[in-house]
A and B are shown apart, each in its own frame.
Chain A
Amino acid sequence: MATIRTEPVTINLGPQHPSTHGVFRLRVTFDGEEIVDVEPVFGYLHRGTEKLAESRNYVQIVTLTDRMDYVASMSNNLAYVRTVEKLSDIEVPERAQYIRVISVELQRIASHLMATGFLLNDLGALATPLVYCFRERERILDLFEMLCGARITLSYMRPGGVFQDAPEEFWSSLNTLISDFPNYLDELESLITTNEIVLARTIGVGLLSDAQAIDSGVTGPILRASSVKWDLRKANPYEIYDRVNFDIPIGSSGDTYDRYYVRLQEMRESIKIISQCIEQIEPGPVRTETPFFIRPPIGETYSSVEGPKGELGFYMVSDGGISPYRCKVRAPSFINLTPLRDMLTGWKMGDLIIILGSLDIVLGEVDR
């Protein structure tokens, strides 16, 4: 009897899809239930940020950077204004640095809450954990609204500091949030981290070894989940990170569970950082005076920060004018997609969405 011939089938996980975290297309080739090949196709959200930056002045570009990783605007702003300050040698007052660090750590918590919520949504838990994570994220967005009037695309930072000081009610709400949040994280952990179905679906799935993670240029929680202890806040401290104590959580084997757990622990560390900043902050100015049109001297520089998704860097070349000559973004989500093919081949269809969810990509950053 002749053997039955099977052939692999190519399916398009198209741009519109309930769970690809944005307009992201994956052409997957299946052999039965197993993934044989993966080809990511993106660019649906490309808006030409780098080209637009060449015709806007340095303060206007802050609004462009908000919209790249639209989930974590504060980090984008911080990376950009630090590059401009490095290029033009602008000093930032201390109070502004403390407020920047508080905002960025709050933003990190918000971004990780969103990542965790959506990972669990992809696991099939019918949006219930997602709604709980978003309920806490709403409190953080309310704090941001007190700071700068917007919730998502914040444009809070300027070269030279932050744009306005935090109002009085911000500090009391922040203190309430800091005291409530560890209990909330404990509750979330008790529901999710020991749930056997979550463990069965995430442990050992989508492995990324440390050598491969480093070779692929991956940064952020994904690199740390592969047991590489590398965080720019400690390796190359900026702002006031050298004055606060915090740990860098790492994972043991680079699977999906580790990536989820590292994000959970990072949220706890962020709370520690914020409470130390609240103690250490002193009154003072929040912005140094800069001319309306900043004209950095001719030169180039690269500077990066540790954003929630990874190392977010700006490489800026200035020709002495009011707009940069070249403003290149090192987008972490874009580069984190490099090992996608190796991480996905050999796994089943049900794992595909989960591995993609654990990578926590934001299409605004991938496509710029």
Chain B
Amino acid sequence: MTSTPAFFVSFDSLKILFTNLIELFGLGESLGWSAGLLAGISISFLIINVMVMSTAFYTWFERRMIGRFQVRRGPNRNGPFGILQPFADVLKLIMKEDTIPDAADKPVFTLAPIALLAPTLMIMIVIPFGTYASDQAFLSNLNIGILFIVGVTSVNSIAIFMAGWGSRNKYAILGSMRGAAMLISYEIPMALGITSVLLLSGSLAMTEIVRSQSVWFILVMPMGFFVFMAASTAEMSRTPFDQIEAESELGSGYNTEYSGIKFAVLFLAEFMAPIVTAAVVTTLFLGGSQGFDFLPGGIWFAIKMFVLIFLLLWVRSTWPRLRIDQIMGFAWKTLFGLGLFNIFLVAVEFMVAVKLGHTSDGSLTTGYMLTMAGVNWIVTIIAFIILANFVGKKKYHRPEPTPSPLANMGAGGD
């Protein structure tokens, strides 16, 4: 495979640069091994900064957009169009006193924000950002790419539990218990959504998944897309699944006791999650950086991410939130069922393809994938119609109200 660089810096090119630098200083024998380390550190520095800046601008974008949905402007005081608002927020949070409650469990309390931020950043290691058919991810194209992502996002649940437990606060513990239960439950539908992708791509590596999308997987398996999007929305605890930080209910849930820079880190992690999720979904379902050739692959990737982020934002600003037992029911009954059904459907179609000889070097032909797309969309629409009308409508049918016999306004003198 050709090693075209993903973008103008890549791990390999930096490694070569550092090796040359070290040799220049004549330290090749003693410090030659450290070229890789230095390259890694530089790329990580770059990624972290880019992610933090994107999160900052994402908060600005979200507040402006939600304002527009609510017939008002968003922040417009700091800088033109309020563009410096995130910087004002961060400055305020840094200058605040960093309190730690007296009875709190100090190591757990301090480590929780870091434990929440680190996995979110680590997901970006394996995202393939570059041009189509490249084998470059941001940092390292692990050949267990997607499994690495699933494993790393599981650390979120621990971090939220640590945040609540370390605060020693009734509200915080309540919020984080609910959060831990919810996050653990939604990992299964997430895995089911990913499995259906793996059936067609044949490999866990993210670049292989992109390469096998001769037809984008959102067209081929819409039900899997829905299951994965719903599960990821819950994993990020965004509306309609944001019961754990329900601001209008119990103060602020697990981050009640946090202030200052720790709160800024928690806030950052919470707002970085949609960007990272959008990146993962783009890779898995929207063909990564595939697109017409008049724009480089990276720009296509960014456009697709933007569409997904806007969708998440839109849902957040319009829908109310579900109750915790309804959230759990949704995960274990609806999403689990739909996810399994989706895997079954895709597996059956794959087997039929192999039998009928529509495969070429292990993966399906484009024509067959298009047929699959058509069939799957019809099945999905039928499934949703059945779910909505026959399961939903029955539960929510309201009888006509009849006046109670206990009151009679017409009686009495006139």
Instruction: Assess whether B240 is interfacial by the CB under 8 Å rule.
Output: yes
Complex partner residue of B318 from A125, A200, A203, A252, CB under 8 angstroms:
A125
- With A9-B170, A350-B243 already in contact, the answer to whether A128 and B70 are too (CB < 8 A) is yes
Kindly provide the distance from the CB of A13 to the nearest chain B CB, expressed in whole angstroms.
8
- With A19-B249, A131-B71, A349-B250 already in contact, the answer to whether A126 and B239 are too (CB < 8 A) is yes
Complex partner residue of A18 from B248, B325, B395, CB under 8 angstroms:
B248
CB <8 Å contact, A230 and B407 = yes
Instruction: Assess whether B168 is interfacial by the CB under 8 Å rule.
Output: no
Select the stretch in B92-100, B214-222, B369-377, B397-405 that faces chain A: B397-405
CB <8 Å contact, A226 and B404 = yes
Contact with B along A324-355 (1 / 0, CB 8 A): 00000000000000000000000011110100
CB <8 Å contact, B406 and A211 = yes
Complex partner residue of A120 from B69, B243, B320, CB under 8 angstroms:
B320
Instruction: Assess whether B188 is interfacial by the CB under 8 Å rule.
Output: no
Instruction: Assess whether A132 is interfacial by the CB under 8 Å rule.
Output: yes
Give A123 to B395 CA distance when docked, in angstroms: 20
Q: Which residues A226-254 have CB closer than 8 A to chain B? A: 226-231, 234-235, 248, 250-252
Q: Which residue of A lies closest to B66 (CB)?
A: A126
Kindly provide the distance from the CB of A366 to the nearest chain B CB, expressed in whole angstroms.
20
Q: Which residue of B lies closest to A200 (CB)?
A: B326
Instruction: Assess whether B396 is interfacial by the CB under 8 Å rule.
Output: yes
Q: Which residues B81-100 have CB closer than 8 A to chain A? A: none
Instruction: Assess whether B150 is interfacial by the CB under 8 Å rule.
Output: no
Instruction: Assess whether A214 is interfacial by the CB under 8 Å rule.
Output: yes
Contact with A along B373-414 (1 / 0, CB 8 A): 000000000000000100010011011111110110100100
CB <8 Å contact, A348 and B240 = no
- With A197-B240, A234-B409 already in contact, the answer to whether A227 and B404 are too (CB < 8 A) is yes
In the assembled complex, which residues on chain A have CB atoms less than 8 Å from the CB atom of B399? 252
In the assembled complex, which residues on chain B have CB atoms less than 8 Å from the CB atom of A150? none
In the assembled complex, which residues on chain A have CB atoms less than 8 Å from the CB atom of B249? 19, 122, 349-350, 353
Among A13, A128, A257, residue most surrounded by chain B Cβ atoms (within 10 Å): A128
CB <8 Å contact, A197 and B404 = no
Give A219 to B326 CA distance when docked, in angstroms: 32
- With A18-B247, A227-B402 already in contact, the answer to whether A195 and B319 are too (CB < 8 A) is yes
In the assembled complex, which residues on chain A have CB atoms less than 8 Å from the CB atom of B319? 125, 195, 197
In the assembled complex, which residues on chain B have CB atoms less than 8 Å from the CB atom of A11? 170-171, 174
Contact with B along A123-146 (1 / 0, CB 8 A): 111111001100100000000000
- With A18-B248, A196-B392 already in contact, the answer to whether A210 and B404 are too (CB < 8 A) is yes
In the assembled complex, which residues on chain B have CB atoms less than 8 Å from the CB atom of A120? 320
- With A201-B322, A214-B407, A353-B249 already in contact, the answer to whether A251 and B401 are too (CB < 8 A) is yes
Q: Which residue of B lies closest to A227 (CB)?
A: B404
In the assembled complex, which residues on chain B have CB atoms less than 8 Å from the CB atom of A199? 396
Give A195 to B240 CA distance when docked, in angstroms: 12
CB <8 Å contact, B409 and A230 = yes
In the assembled complex, which residues on chain A have CB atoms less than 8 Å from the CB atom of B317? 126, 128
Q: Which residue of B lies closest to A126 (CB)?
A: B317
Instruction: Assess whether A90 is interfacial by the CB under 8 Å rule.
Output: no
Give A123 to B323 CA distance when docked, in angstroms: 9
Number of chain A residues whose Cβ lies closer than 8 Å to a Cβ of chain B: 49
Instruction: Assess whether A57 is interfacial by the CB under 8 Å rule.
Output: no
Kindly provide the distance from the CB of B127 to the nearest chain A CB, expressed in whole angstroms.
29
In the assembled complex, which residues on chain A have CB atoms less than 8 Å from the CB atom of B318? 125-126, 128
Instruction: Assess whether B43 is interfacial by the CB under 8 Å rule.
Output: no
In the assembled complex, which residues on chain B have CB atoms less than 8 Å from the CB atom of A257? 398
In the assembled complex, which residues on chain B have CB atoms less than 8 Å from the CB atom of A282? none
Give A132 to B412 CA distance when docked, in angstroms: 43
In the assembled complex, which residues on chain B have CB atoms less than 8 Å from the CB atom of A226? 404
CB <8 Å contact, B70 and A250 = no
Instruction: Assess whether A207 is interfacial by the CB under 8 Å rule.
Output: no
Q: Which residue of A lies closest to B248 (CB)?
A: A19
CB <8 Å contact, A203 and B396 = yes
Q: Which residue of A lies closest to B397 (CB)?
A: A203
Instruction: Assess whether A33 is interfacial by the CB under 8 Å rule.
Output: yes
CB <8 Å contact, B70 and A127 = yes
Q: Which residues A145-176 have CB closer than 8 A to chain B? A: none
CB <8 Å contact, B401 and A228 = no
Kindly provide the distance from the CB of B228 to the nearest chain A CB, expressed in whole angstroms.
20
Complex partner residue of A348 from B170, B250, B323, B395, CB under 8 angstroms:
B323
CB <8 Å contact, A214 and B406 = yes
Q: Which residues B286-337 have CB closer than 8 A to chain A? A: 316-326
Give A135 to B240 CA distance when docked, in angstroms: 24
Instruction: Assess whether B72 is interfacial by the CB under 8 Å rule.
Output: yes
Instruction: Assess whether A198 is interfacial by the CB under 8 Å rule.
Output: yes
Complex partner residue of A201 from B69, B248, B320, CB under 8 angstroms:
B320
Q: Which residue of B lies closest to A354 (CB)?
A: B323
Kindly provide the distance from the CB of A310 to the nearest chain B CB, expressed in whole angstroms.
14
CB <8 Å contact, A131 and B403 = no
Kindly provide the distance from the CB of A236 to the nearest chain B CB, expressed in whole angstroms.
8
Instruction: Assess whether A121 is interfacial by the CB under 8 Å rule.
Output: yes
Give A127 to B248 CA distance when docked, in angstroms: 10
Complex partner residue of B404 from A131, A229, A350, CB under 8 angstroms:
A229
Give A250 to B399 CA distance when docked, in angstroms: 12
Complex partner residue of A33 from B72, B324, B407, CB under 8 angstroms:
B324
> Which residues of B does A touch, CB under 8 Å?
66, 69-72, 170-171, 174, 178, 239-240, 242-243, 246-251, 316-326, 388, 392, 395-396, 398-404, 406-407, 409, 412
Closest 5 interchain pairs by CB?
A124-B321, A123-B320, A229-B403, A252-B401, A350-B323
Q: A128-B318, A131-B72 are in contact. List 16 more A-B contacts (CB 8 A).
A: A18-B248, A33-B178, A33-B324, A124-B239, A124-B246, A128-B317, A196-B392, A197-B322, A200-B323, A201-B326, A203-B398, A226-B404, A348-B323, A349-B174, A350-B243, A350-B249
Residue pairs across A and B with Cβ atoms less than 8 A apart, 27 shown, are A9-B170, A121-B248, A122-B249, A124-B320, A126-B316, A126-B318, A128-B70, A131-B72, A132-B70, A197-B240, A197-B320, A200-B326, A200-B396, A201-B326, A203-B396, A210-B406, A214-B406, A227-B402, A228-B404, A229-B403, A230-B407, A248-B409, A250-B401, A348-B323, A348-B324, A350-B243, A350-B324
